[in-house]
């Protein structure tokens, strides 16, 4: 829509900026948010076109760090048509306000990883779908006791003898497409692995783990900065050994934690506890399954069958929850309602904080000058009215 | 000199905005004929800017053919600093109105040659045919723009070192750290403002009461630089009730009695046209 150099002014809107909601206009040029003062005084320009936002709240686009698939596609299961799957999900989540995401792979065998990971390339978003930030590998170095819905036989130990680089390459095929690895810090040799991944600038997330608080802290000291779906698939909070959950109240303030705020996986009271303990670390994730956006019935997660009933996903024929099918925008609304937090806090859990996890907060998750013009228009109820990527409108709710 | 006394700061804002609007409309500005307007910053004129932005949004007035000249700015403060007058003018006024950035002139406190910047500014004003209407506020010590007490009343645009009191007063805008307050500013001179065809000075609040007293009830004095406007042909001082606290009852009563005449100064264009045609009719 916008030709090179064209300046668009978004007006009649409120903006989420600097932890506040302010009444102001937003200027965009060449897919970036720009400083209107510099434009005015230095370049002697005002704008070329105006977008009337009709009193919408403009927030940065949502960033989903954990999504297994959706719209019938599962990144770990549909391994023959990975590109198609990624594209389908990338496009499908635009109405949910998600402008960038990390396709997530559950614990799988090396054959799956090596086939799939090289084909999930980081790519900028646009009309065809949300930005692919890189793969989130959930496993295979996880605790068998906390495997959740993951496949037990694919879980791997970390070898002491061979180098971390070699093990990772043998497992994943390539590292350049991976941005997050979830692992259990209590596994033998896990701490060295954390250190290695952190040095490679891959975010280490603690999860699917039985770790006690001491090992969790060691994991953080070695470079882990994230916790995968807090409370789920980890040792429960105990007052003498709070486990991974205890990190929220530790001295390490740079630890973020994912919350599946679908109203099912994490009880509202648990969401409140997490938010009130460490609100700056809150990251909402969907952990969505292939059934996201699909009706009730049987679907697939990895090599397992999943049954969707009444908006929940279970391992077929059991009561084991195995991922969420609640979309991102809905998760943010549930998070806000459950915790009673402010709109700013709810939105930042889906924008600024996930960007900080990936250390891309200068480009995404913010409306600061120079950041990417990935925007969502929201109404009072935080429903997504429009989604913009790179300064282009990619979704508009039909009125 | 006129003194318009109104009840509240909000009334002052509205009156001033209407006056500006009328001046621009009566001037009948166009591509060949720009209206030149001098503008202040600070807390007092905020309400006026808000009103003018509202009038502009409602299509009552256009700033397309208005050239704007600001009174002053700090030296060495980046333009995007929230206390810079570039920032103030953009966020409180310019971004809300239909103004062409090419017609905005603000003294650049980051210019490499500050003296040249000041001389050029005077030259630019001269080239534009002088200022039609200069709007200003005054400080509690009666200063106008950054013409601190003791400034020459025939001064021109120049670099001015700020008084210690001014630094202390501005401290609150700079993290309460006096070392962060700029110590110099570029400012138009008293004479620069005196050269304007019309001058409108806004004074609100009891903190300005003593200054108002000195500026209109005492003699012309460089220790109260705004008193220089006693000798200007068309100056309107406009204040609220609080600012009159140090004035004589006689003074207040005299000017309040003139309120009906003052109202005529901001009468809408349409009604004026009717009255003037009525006048023509009567003359016939």
Query: pLDDT for A215-225, tens place per residue?
Result: 999 999 999 99
Residue A299 pLDDT grade (very low, low, confident, very high; cuts 50, 70, 90): confident
Residue contact A41–B102, C-beta within 8 A: no
Phi, psi of A179 (to 5 degrees): -115, -20
B116: Cβ contacts below 8 Å, ≥ 6 apart: none
Write down the pLDDT at residue B274: 47
By DSSP bridging, strand B72-74 and strand B235-240 are unpaired
Write down the pLDDT at residue B282: 47
By DSSP bridging, strand B72-74 and strand B184-187 are antiparallel
Residue contact B80–A35, C-beta within 8 A: yes
| Range B16-20 average pLDDT | 96
Q: How far apart are CA B77 and CA B108, in angstroms?
A: 9
A18 lies within 8 A of chain B by CB: no
| Range B18-37 average pLDDT | 94
Residue A3 pLDDT grade (very low, low, confident, very high; cuts 50, 70, 90): confident
Residue A302 pLDDT grade (very low, low, confident, very high; cuts 50, 70, 90): low
Write down the pLDDT at residue A301: 58
The residues pairing with B203 across neighbouring beta strands, listed in sequence order, are B239
Distance from CA of A37 to the nearest CA of B (A): 7
Three-state helix/strand/coil letters over chain B: CEEEEECCHHHHHHHHHHHHHHHHHHHCCECCECEEEEECCCCCCHHHHHHHHHHHHCCCCCCCCEEEEECEEECCCCCCCCCCHHHHHHHHCHHHCCCCHHHEECCCCCCCCHHHHHHHHHHHHHHCCCCCEEEEECCCCCCECCECCCCCCCCCCEEEECCHHHHHHHHHHCCCCHHHCCCEEEECCHHHHHCCCEEEEEECCHHHHHHHHHHHHCCCECCEHHHHHHHCCCEEEEEEHHHHCCCCHHHHHHHHCCHHHHHHCCCCHHHHHHHHHHHHHHHC
Edge-to-edge strand ranges of the sheet holding B235-240: B2-6, B235-240, B198-203, B133-137, B35-39, B66-70, B104-105
Residue contact B86–A37, C-beta within 8 A: yes
Phi, psi of B196 (to 5 degrees): -65, 150
| pLDDT tens column, B192-250 | 999 999 999 999 999 999 999 999 999 999 999 999 999 999 999 999 999 999 999 99
For residue A277, the surrounding DSSP H or E stretch is helix A268-277
Nearest residue in chain B measured CA to CA from A37: B90
| Range A331-348 average pLDDT | 97
| Range B248-272 average pLDDT | 85
By DSSP bridging, strand A203-206 and strand A178-183 are parallel
Residue contact B95–A45, C-beta within 8 A: no
| Range A391-395 average pLDDT | 97
Q: Is the pLDDT of residue A213 over 50?
A: yes
Going by the annotation, the residues of the binding site of A are 138, 149, 208, 229, 232-233, 240, 265, 321-323
Is A273 within 8 Å of A337 (Cβ atoms)? Answer: no
Residue contact A41–B106, C-beta within 8 A: yes
| pLDDT tens column, A228-261 | 999 999 999 999 999 999 999 988 888 999 999 9
Question: Encoding tokens for residue B117?
Answer: 């910047």
Q: Is the pLDDT of residue A152 over 60?
A: yes
A45 lies within 8 A of chain B by CB: yes
Nearest residue in chain B measured CA to CA from A40: B101
DSSP class of residue A158?
P
| Range A82-109 average pLDDT | 96
Q: Is the pLDDT of residue B97 over 80?
A: yes
Write down the pLDDT at residue A367: 97
Residue contact B95–A38, C-beta within 8 A: no
Residues of chain A found within 8 Å of residue B80, distances taken between Cβ atoms: 35, 37-38
Three-state DSSP state, A31: coil
Write down the pLDDT at residue A2: 58
Write down the pLDDT at residue A315: 81
| Range B91-115 average pLDDT | 95
A251 lies within 8 A of chain B by CB: no
- Is the model more confident about B7 or about A161? B7
Q: Is the pLDDT of residue A38 over 60?
A: yes
Residue A362 pLDDT grade (very low, low, confident, very high; cuts 50, 70, 90): very high
A6: Cβ contacts below 8 Å, ≥ 6 apart: A29, A48, A49
Distance from CA of B97 to the nearest CA of A (A): 10
Nearest residue in chain A measured CA to CA from B91: A37
Residue contact B106–A45, C-beta within 8 A: no
CATH code for residues B2-264: 3.40.50.1360
Residues of chain B found within 8 Å of residue A36, distances taken between Cβ atoms: 90, 95
Residue contact B79–A44, C-beta within 8 A: no
Question: Encoding tokens for residue A354?
Answer: 């996930």
Write down the pLDDT at residue A139: 85
The residues pairing with A34 across neighbouring beta strands, listed in sequence order, are A27
| pLDDT tens column, A6-34 | 999 999 999 999 999 999 999 999 999 99
Distance from CA of B48 to the nearest CA of A (A): 19
What b-and-e string marks burial along A99-137, b requiring 16 or more CB atoms within 10 Å of the CB? bbbbbbbbbbbeebbbebbebbeebebeeebbbbbbbbb
Nearest residue in chain A measured CA to CA from B108: A41
| Range B133-155 average pLDDT | 94
A52 lies within 8 A of chain B by CB: no
Write down the pLDDT at residue B277: 47
- Domains of chain A in start order, with CATH, are 7-59+366-396 (2.30.40.10), 61-358 (3.20.20.140)
Q: For an interface test with A, which of B95, B97, B108, B110 has the most A Cβ atoms less than 10 Å from its Cβ?
A: B95
Write down the pLDDT at residue B283: 46
The pLDDT mean for chain A works out to 93
Distance from CA of A38 to the nearest CA of B (A): 8
The residues pairing with B9 across neighbouring beta strands, listed in sequence order, are none
Who among B79, B91, B100 is closest to A41 (CB)? B79
Going by the annotation, the residues of the binding site of A for Zn(2+) are 138, 208, 229
Q: Both ends of chain B: CA-CA distance in Å?
A: 34
Write down the pLDDT at residue B284: 44
Residue contact A36–B95, C-beta within 8 A: yes
Site of tokens 């997660």 = A301
By DSSP bridging, strand A384-389 and strand A392-396 are antiparallel
Q: How far apart are CA B97 and CA B37, in angstroms?
A: 14
A368 lies within 8 A of chain B by CB: no
Residues of chain A found within 8 Å of residue B91, distances taken between Cβ atoms: 37
Residues of B annotated as catalytic (active site), given as ranges: 72, 141, 143, 148
Residues of chain B found within 8 Å of residue A17, distances taken between Cβ atoms: none
A7 lies within 8 A of chain B by CB: no
Is B232 within 8 Å of B199 (Cβ atoms)? Answer: yes
Express as a percent the part of chain A with pLDDT over 90.
Answer: 81
- Is the model more confident about B64 or about A309? B64
């Amino acid at each position: 829509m916008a030709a090179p150099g064209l300046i668009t002014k978004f007006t009649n809107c409120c903006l989420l900026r600097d932890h506040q909601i302010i009444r102001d206009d937003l200027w965009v040029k060449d897919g970036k948010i720009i400083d209107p003062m510099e434009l005015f005084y230095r370049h002697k320009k005002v704008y070329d076109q105006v977008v009337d936002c009709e009193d919408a709240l403009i927030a940065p686009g949502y960033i989903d760090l954990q999504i297994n698939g959706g719209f019938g596609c599962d990144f770990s299961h549909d391994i023959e048509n990975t590109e198609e799957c990624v594209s389908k999900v990338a496009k499908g989540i635009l109405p949910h306000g998600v402008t960038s995401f990390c396709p997530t792979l559950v614990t799988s065998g090396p054959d799956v990883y090596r086939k799939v990971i090289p084909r999930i390339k980081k790519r900028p978003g646009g009309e065809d779908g949300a930005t692919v930030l890189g793969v989130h590998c959930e496993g295979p170095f996880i605790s068998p006791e906390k495997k959740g819905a993951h496949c037990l036989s694919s879980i791997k130990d970390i070898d002491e003898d061979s180098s971390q680089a070699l093990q990772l390459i043998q497992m994943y095929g390539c590292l350049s497409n991976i941005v997050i690895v979830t692992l259990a810090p209590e596994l033998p040799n896990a701490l060295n692995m954390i250190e290695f991944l952190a040095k490679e600038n891959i975010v280490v997330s603690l999860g699917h783990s039985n770790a006690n608080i001491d090992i969790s802290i060691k994991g953080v000291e070695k470079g882990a900065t994230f916790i995968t779906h807090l409370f789920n698939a980890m040792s429960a909070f105990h007052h003498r050994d709070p486990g991974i959950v205890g990190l929220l109240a530790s001295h390490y303030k740079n630890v973020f934690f994912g919350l599946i705020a679908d109203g099912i996986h994490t009880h509202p009271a648990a969401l409140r506890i997490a938010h009130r303990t460490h609100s700056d670390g809150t990251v909402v994730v969907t952990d969505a399954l292939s059934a996201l956006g699909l009706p009730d019935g049987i679907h697939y997660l990895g090599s397992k069958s999943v049954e969707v009933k009444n908006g929940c996903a279970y391992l077929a024929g059991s009561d084991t929850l195995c991922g969420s099918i609640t979309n991102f925008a809905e998760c943010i609304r549930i998070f806000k309602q459950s915790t009673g937090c402010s709109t700013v806090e709810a939105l930042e859990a889906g924008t600024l904080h996930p960007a900080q996890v990936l250390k891309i907060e200068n480009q995404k998750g913010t409306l600061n000058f120079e950041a990417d013009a990935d925007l969502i228009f929201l109404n009072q109820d935080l429903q997504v009215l429009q989604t913009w990527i790179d300064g282009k409108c990619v979704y508009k709710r039909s009125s | 000199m006129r003194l318009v006394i109104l009840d509240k700061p909000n009334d002052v804002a509205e009156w001033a905005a209407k006056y500006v609007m009328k001046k621009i409309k009566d001037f009948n500005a166009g591509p060949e004929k720009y209206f030149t307007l001098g503008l202040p910053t600070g807390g007092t004129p905020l309400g006026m800017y808000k009103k003018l932005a509202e009038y502009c949004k409602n299509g009552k007035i256009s700033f397309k053919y208005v050239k704007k000249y600001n009174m002053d700015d700090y030296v060495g403060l980046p333009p995007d600093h929230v206390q810079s007058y570039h920032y103030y003018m953009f966020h409180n006024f310019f971004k809300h109105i239909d103004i062409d950035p090419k017609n905005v002139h603000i003294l650049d406190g980051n210019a490499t040659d500050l003296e040249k910047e000041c001389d050029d500014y005077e030259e630019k004003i001269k080239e534009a045919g002088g200022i039609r209407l200069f709007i200003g506020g005054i400080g509690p010590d009666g200063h106008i723009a950054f013409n601190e007490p003791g400034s020459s009343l025939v001064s021109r645009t120049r670099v001015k070192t700020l008084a210690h009191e001014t630094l202390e007063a501005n401290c609150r805008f700079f993290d309460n750290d006096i070392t962060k307050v700029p110590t110099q500013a570029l400012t138009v001179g008293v004479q620069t403002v005196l050269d304007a065809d019309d001058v409108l000075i806004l004074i609100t609040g009891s903190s300005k009461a003593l200054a108002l007293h000195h500026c209109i009830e005492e003699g012309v004095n460089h220790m109260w630089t705004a008193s220089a406007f006693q000798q200007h042909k068309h100056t309107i001082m406009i204040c609220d009730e609080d600012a009159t606290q140090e004035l004589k009852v006689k003074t207040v009563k005299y000017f309040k009695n003139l309120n009906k005449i003052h109202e005529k100064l901001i009468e809408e264009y349409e009604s004026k046209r009717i009255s003037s045609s009525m006048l023509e009719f009567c003359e016939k």
